[in-house]
Structure 1
Amino acid sequence: MSVPPVVSQDHAALLASTDPKLAANKRLVYDMYRIVLQAGLADRAHEYIADGYIQHNPNAGQGLQGLVDYVRATRPERPILEVLDLPLVHLMAEGDYVTTTFVRPEKDANGETYYSSWFDLYRIEDGKIIEHWDPMLKSDPKIDPNDRKL
């Protein structure tokens, strides 16, 4: 039996930092995820994503427009929630980088649920997200991660 990782119940604590720059970077990524990726509001991506955005997910295009196109192709628009409702394990920042970790429930060949972890790394420059990494493979289908809740 697969045991899910423990998810955070206190997002405010994850967003807190004694360093104002780190707190701002974490808030930028958190709000981008909440508004653009969770709510699917691709038209607001420019508020968080730089024009020269470098995308390391091989299934999404480069630049701000590449992210906008990917969001539009993979999820509907939803209401904006005050907190992420995806199972967030941790949010951490160091320098110009912010990492998110989510629980991702999946089904095995027998239809049994197991749990994996999904990591995203973002680089911030001049108050916007300029670069992104995740473990997506070309062979992975385009998904809406909002369908992967506990």
Structure 2
Amino acid sequence: MNLAENKKKAIAFYKMAYEGNPREAVQKYLGNQYIQHNPDVADGIEGFVSYFERMQKEYPDKSIEFVRCIAEGNLVSLHTHQTWPGNDEYVTMDFFRFDAQGKICEHWDAIQQIPRKSANTNKMY
């Protein structure tokens, strides 16, 4: 496994899908199988494409910042800061598993809205 290449692929895949080109992202970066663990997204490639096409249509002005990227073995983790309409902000942590051909084949994530008030001054990302 080439960790640096997998990190680049994971970021490129997520950025391309998030910014409105999920079908192209799938063609470039996914393997033959895509296992989805997010309960809001249908399993498989078409479930992924459908979700991100809908998000782009409903929220075209959303933005994403990649804060950190960590790779180990066949896994890559992305830590992001997302801003949605109305200045709703979220911290996400996405995990991607790569197959032996260097293609993404599985995804897990955790999403938390950034509250307007905090008991401390530390950022969540």
Fold conserved between structures, TM > 0.5: yes
- Measure, in 2, the Cα distance between the counterparts of 1:75 and 1:89: 21
Q: 2:21 aligns with which of 20, 36, 41?
A: 41
Structure 2 unaligned segments of length 5 or more: list them. Answer: 113-125
Q: Structure 1's 27 and 132: CA in aligned 2 closer, same or farther, altered over 3 A?
A: same
Cα distance in structure 1, aligned partners of 2:53 and 2:88: 28
Gaps of 5+ in 1: 1-19, 79-84, 138-150
Cα RMSD (Å) of the superposition?
Answer: 2.7
Q: Which residue of 2 aligns with 1:64?
A: 45
Residue of 101, 107, 117 corresponding to 1:132: 107
Tell me if 1:91 matches 2:91.
Answer: no
Deviation at 1:136, TM superposition (A): 5.0
Evaluate the alpha carbon distance shift between residue 124 and residue 115 of structure 1 in structure 2; reply closer, same or farther with a 3 A threshold.
same
Q: What TM-score comes out, normalization by structure 1 length?
A: 0.60
Q: Which residue of 2 aligns with 1:28?
A: 9
Query: Helix, strand or coil: the match of 2:64?
Result: coil
Shift, 1:63, TM fit: 1.2
Answer 1 or 2: higher relative contact order, Cα 8 Å, separation at least 6.
1
Question: TM-score when scaled to structure 2?
Answer: 0.71
- How many residue pairs align between the two structures? 105
More strand by share: 2
Runs of 4+ residues over 6 Å off in structure 1: none
Percent identity (aligned): 30
